[in-house]
Amino acid sequence: VEEVLGIEATRNLVAQEIKRVLDEQGLDVDIRHMYLVADAMTWSGRLKPIGRHGVVGAKQSPLARAAFEVTVKTLVEAAVRGEDEQFRGVVENIIAGKYVPVGTGIVKLLMQF
């Protein structure tokens, strides 16, 4: 589909296939959620898998990558390369027990006395 009709048609097909699978399982999920997943898989102009060889593997955060698959190997490789954690995303902040930098967790208020 991607080669013949392009990335937009691929995006639509991915979202429809996700919806079909969830519908078969009796799960009622809004189609917009499927399009968010499809967008994450196609934003680069090419279809990428969700797993460690695609969307998740492209994350800069070592903790976010480790949270998905092969945790120990991912953390060891990150340590050997001397990667540091910036705690900018949702996953790594949840793992560390920190506030998530979205919604009310992104606001910083200072009191003046």
CA distances from 19 to 34, 39, 50, 59 (A): 7, 14, 16, 25
Count of other CB atoms within 10 angstroms of residue 37: 15
CA distances from 70 to 75, 76, 94 (A): 9, 10, 18
Residue 22: per-residue pLDDT: 94
Q: Report pLDDT digits (tens) over 52-99.
A: 666 655 677 888 888 877 889 989 989 999 999 999 888 889 999 998
DSSP for 44-97, please give it.
TSS---SSTTTTGGG-S-HHHHHTTS-HHHHHHHHHHTT------SHHHHHHTT
Residue 8: per-residue pLDDT: 93
110 or 20, higher pLDDT: 20
CA-to-CA distance for 11 and 38, rounded, in angstroms? 5
Q: Report pLDDT digits (tens) over 24-56.
A: 999 999 999 999 999 988 988 988 887 666 665
CATH number given to 50-106: 1.10.150.390
Q: Domain spans of the chain? A: 1-48, 50-106
Residue 17: per-residue pLDDT: 95
Residue 30: per-residue pLDDT: 92
User: What is the rounded end-to-end Cα distance, in angstroms, of the chain?
Assistant: 62
